[in-house]
C-alpha cells in the first residue's frame, strides 16, 4: 500500500493541519495590532516534532493573505542576516524602489517603477545589516506592505540572532510596520532569554506548543483512513489517536505505519495494528527522546530515571529519597528540567514527564 497522506519527517508540511486553531487565531489577531504592540514579536517553544516549523510555514501563508511581505523561515546560521534580506528583496521586489545592478565603475540603481534607467549613483559605503533591513522594511511599508520575519531553530549564543533582535528593536522604535516570529527548543530558549542583549525577547508573546487534542487527532485519522479506503474499526482509530499522546510527529508516524501495515482488502488485523504502533513508537523514541536527553547532564538524567519507575506522576519527596540528596538540590534540578520543557509540575510537590514516551524510553535504557 502506498502512503499518500502521512508525512513523518521534520519540516514537512502535512496535507492537513490538525488543531492549532488558538495559536493561528492569536497570530491573526497580532496581524491586526498597531506597530509597536508587544504581540508583534512572538516566541514559539516546543520539543522537536511538536510542529514549530509547520506553524511558521502556516504563519507565512496567512501573513501573505493579509498583504505582508514575508521572509520565509530561516534557520539561524552565519548566513541568516543576508538570507533574510535576500528573501525580503525577492518577495518584495515589486514594491522596492529599484534593484541594484553591477555595472563597471560601481553600482547603479536601475529600472525603477517607470521601466527606464535611473542613473542615481548609490553610496558605496558598506552598510550594517540593521541599516539594510530597516531600509527595506521602510520602503516596503511606504508601499503599503507590512513585513514578517520568521526565524527557525533559535539557539543560545548566536551573534546573528543578536544582530536581528537589535535591528528589530530599532525598527520598532522607528514605528515601522514589522512582525517577527522565532521558534526553538524550550531548553535553548531559556538561555537565550537570560542573555542581556536579548532581554527584549522576555516581553515577546511566548507560546509553548501544547499537545494536539486527542479528539482532533481521532477526527483526522477517521477522515484520512477513509480517504485511503482503509477500514479501521472505531476502536482501532480511537486507540491509535490515544497512542499519539497529542504529538504531531507521532501522529504522522503512527498514521504512516498503519497505512504500510494494511492488508490487500483494506483492513488491518489486531497483530499488524499493534506492530505498526510499536514501530512508530520506536522511531519516535529514537528521534525525539534521544534528542531531548542529549543536552542534559548525568544528574538531570538521574533525576528523570528516578521518575521513570513510577506511573503517571512522581512525588518530589520520593525523588529525594531515591537519589539520597538534599531537597534544595532536587528543587534546582526540577526547575532546570521544567525550563527545558522535559517535565512539568501539575501540582505542588509533584512532577510528570512533558515529552511523550520519555518515561518508557528512560525505563528501557536507564533503569538499573
Ligand atoms: N498541526 C499539525 N497537523 C498535522 N501534522 C503536523 C502538525 N504539526 C506538525 N506536523 C507534522 O509533524 C512533524 C514534525 O513537524 P515539524 O514542524 O517539523 O516539528 P518541529 O519543527 O517542532 O521539529 C512533521 O511530519 C509535520 O508534518
Ligand atoms: Mg523544525
For residue 126, the model assigns a pLDDT of 78
Do 67 and 146 form a contact (C-beta atoms < 8 A)? yes
198 plus 333 within the same structural domain: no
Question: Quick check: is 258 in a domain?
Answer: yes
Residue linked to cell 537519589:
323
Quote the cell numbers at residue 257: 505505519
301 and 286 share one domain: no
Q: Does residue 102 fall inside a structural domain? A: no
Cα–Cα separations (whole angstroms), residue 111 to 89, 122, 190, 299: 15, 14, 47, 63
For residue 242, the Cα-to-chain-centroid distance in whole angstroms is 23
End-to-end CA distance of the chain: 41
- Please enumerate in sequence order all residues whose Cβ is within 8 A of that of 348, keeping only pairs 6 or more positions apart, or say none: none
pLDDT mean across residues, the chain: 89
Residues of the chain with pLDDT > 90, as a percent, come to: 75
Residues 232 and 311 in one domain: no
pTM: 0.89
Q: Does one domain contain both 32 and 177?
A: yes
Q: Look at residue 118 and tell me if it is in a domain.
A: no
Q: What is the DSSP string of 61-88?
A: HHHHHTT-EEEEEEE-STTHHHHHHHHH
310 and 281 in a single domain? The answer is no
Whether residues 44 and 182 share a domain: the answer is yes
Mutate to test the pocket of ligand 1, among 7, 14, 241, 287 (most ligand atoms within 8 A of CB): 14
Say if residue 181 is in the same domain as residue 288: no
**Gap between the Cα atoms of 38 and 239, Å rounded:** 42
Pairing of strands 69-75, 99-103: unpaired
Check pocket membership of 7 for ligand 1, CB cut-off 6 A: yes
Whether the CB of 10 sits within 6 Å of ligand 1: yes
Is a pLDDT exceeding 70 seen at residue 122? Answer: no
Q: What is the pLDDT of residue 124?
A: 66
Least confident piece of the model among 96-105, 110-119, 173-182: 110-119
Determine the atom of ligand 1 nearest the C-alpha atom of 56.
17
Determine the Cα–Cα distance for residues 239 and 235; give it in Å rounded to an integer.
6
Ligand 1 centre from 16 Cα, in Å? 10
The confidence score (pLDDT) of residue 198 equals 75
88 and 185 share one domain: yes
Residue 25 in domain: yes
Beta strand 343-347 with 350-353 is antiparallel
Per-residue CA distances from 168 to 136, 261, 263 (Å): 12, 50, 55
**Total domain count, the chain:** 3
Final residue of a structural domain among 241, 267, 292: 292
Residue-wise pLDDT for 263-300, tens only, equals 878 889 999 999 999 999 999 999 999 989 988 999 99
* Per-residue CA distances from 145 to 35, 178, 348 (Å): 13, 9, 48
Split at pLDDT 50, 70, 90, the class of 109 is very low
Ligand nearest to the CA of 47: 1
Q: State the distance from the centre of ligand 2 to the C-alpha of 295, rounded, in angstroms.
A: 17
Is residue 108 a part of any domain in this protein? no
pLDDT of residue 113: 45
Q: State which residues form the domain around 354.
A: 296-366
Query: How does residue 146 score in pLDDT terms, banded at 50, 70 and 90?
Result: very high
Domain's final residue, options 262, 292, 322: 292
For residue 206, give the 3-state DSSP assignment.
strand
Report d(CA 164, CA 328) in Å as an integer: 38
354: in domain: yes
Q: Hey, is 319 helix, strand or coil? A: helix
Boundary-marking domain end, from 183, 208, 233: 208
- Summarised one tens digit per residue, pLDDT across range 305-359 is 999 999 899 999 999 999 999 999 999 999 999 988 899 999 999 999 999 999 9
Section 214-225 average pLDDT: 97
Instruction: Pick the residue whose CA is nearest to atom 9 on ligand 1.
Output: 51
Range scoring the smallest mean pLDDT among 24-28, 79-83, 104-108:
104-108
Residue 150 CB neighbour total at 10 angstroms: 25
**Which whole number is the average pLDDT over 48-53?**
96
Ligand 1 in reach of 184 Cβ (< 6 A): no
110 band by pLDDT with thresholds 50, 70 and 90: very low
Please report the pLDDT score of residue 192 as a whole number: 72
Is ligand 1 within 6 A of the CB of residue 52? yes
Residues 154 and 220 in one domain: no
pLDDT tens, position by position, 236-251: 999 999 999 999 999 9
In a shared domain, residues 40 and 179: yes
Whether residue 221 sits in one domain with residue 358: no
Atom number in ligand 1 closest to CA 14: 27
**Of all atoms in ligand 1, which is nearest to the CA of residue 46?**
22
The answer, yes or no, to whether residue 74 has pLDDT greater than 70, is yes
C-alpha cell at 70: 514575508
Is the Cβ atom of 246 under 6 angstroms away from ligand 1?
no
Residue 84 lies in a domain: yes
Between 117 and 149, the more confident residue is 149
pLDDT at 191 over 90: no
**Same domain for 130 and 237?**
no
Atom of ligand 1 nearest to the CA of 10: 18
Confidence of residue 116 (pLDDT cuts 50, 70, 90): very low
Domain assignment of residue 8, yes or no:
no
Sheet (strand 343-347) strand order: 313-315, 350-353, 343-347
Q: Give yes or no for residue 11 CB within 6 A of ligand 1.
A: yes
Q: What pLDDT was estimated at residue 33?
A: 95
CATH of the domain at 305: 1.10.10.10
Residue 153: its H or E element: strand 147-154
CA 368 to chain centre: 35
Dist. CA 57 → ligand 2 center (Å): 10
Q: What is the mean pLDDT of residues 60-72?
A: 97
Amino acid at each position: 500500500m502506498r502512503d499518500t497522506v502521512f508525512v513523518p519527517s521534520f519540516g514537512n508540511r502535512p496535507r492537513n493541519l490538525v488543531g492549532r486553531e488558538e495559536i493561528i487565531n492569536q497570530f491573526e489577531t497580532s496581524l491586526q495590532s498597531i506597530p509597536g504592540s508587544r504581540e508583534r514579536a512572538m516566541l514559539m517553544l516546543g520539543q522537536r516534532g511538536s510542529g514549530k516549523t509547520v506553524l511558521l510555514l502556516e504563519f507565512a501563508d496567512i501573513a501573505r493573505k493579509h498583504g505582508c511581505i514575508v521572509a520565509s523561515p530561516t534557520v539561524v546560521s552565519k548566513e541568516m542576516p543576508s538570507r533574510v534580506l535576500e528573501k525580503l528583496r525577492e518577495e518584495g521586489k515589486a514594491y522596492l524602489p529599484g534593484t541594484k545592478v553591477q555595472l563597471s565603475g560601481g553600482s547603479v540603481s536601475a529600472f525603477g517603477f517607470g521601466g527606464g534607467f535611473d542613473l542615481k549613483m548609490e553610496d558605496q559605503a558598506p552598510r550594517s545589516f540593521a541599516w539594510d533591513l530597516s531600509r527595506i522594511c521602510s520602503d516596503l511599508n511606504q508601499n503599503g506592505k507590512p513585513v514578517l520575519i520568521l526565524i527557525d531553530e533559535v539557539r543560545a549564543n548566536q551573534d546573528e540572532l543578536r544582530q536581528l533582535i537589535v535591528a528589530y528593536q530599532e525598527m520598532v522604535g522607528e514605528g515601522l510596520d514589522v512582525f517577527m516570529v522565532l521558534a526553538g527548543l524550550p531548553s535553548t530558549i531559556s538561555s537565550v532569554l537570560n542573555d542581556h542583549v536579548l532581554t527584549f525577547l522576555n516581553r515577546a508573546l511566548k507560546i509553548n506548543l501544547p499537545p494536539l487534542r486527542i479528539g482532533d487527532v481521532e477526527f483526522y485519522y477517521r477522515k484520512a483512513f477513509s480517504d485511503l479506503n482503509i477500514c479501521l474499526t472505531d476502536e482501532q482509530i480511537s486507540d491509535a489517536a490515544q497512542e499519539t499522546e497529542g504529538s504531531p510527529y507521532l501522529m504522522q508516524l503512527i498514521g504512516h505505519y498503519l497505512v504500510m501495515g494494511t492488508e490487500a482488502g483494506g483492513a488491518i488485523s489486531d497483530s499488524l495494528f499493534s506492530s505498526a504502533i510499536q514501530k512508530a513508537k520506536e522511531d519516535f523514541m529514537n528521534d525525539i527522546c534521544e534528542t531531548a536527553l542529549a543536552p542534559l547532564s548525568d544528574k538531570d538524567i538521574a533525576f528523570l530515571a528516578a521518575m521513570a519507575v513510577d506511573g503517571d506522576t512522581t512525588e518530589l519527596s520520593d525523588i529525594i529519597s531515591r537519589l539520597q540528596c538534599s531537597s534544595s538540590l532536587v528543587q534546582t534540578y526540577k526547575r532546570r528540567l521544567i525550563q527545558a520543557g522535559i517535565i512539568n509540575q501539575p501540582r505542588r510537590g509533584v512532577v510528570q514527564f512533558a515529552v511523550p514516551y520519555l518515561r518508557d524510553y528512560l525505563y528501557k535504557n536507564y533503569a538499573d
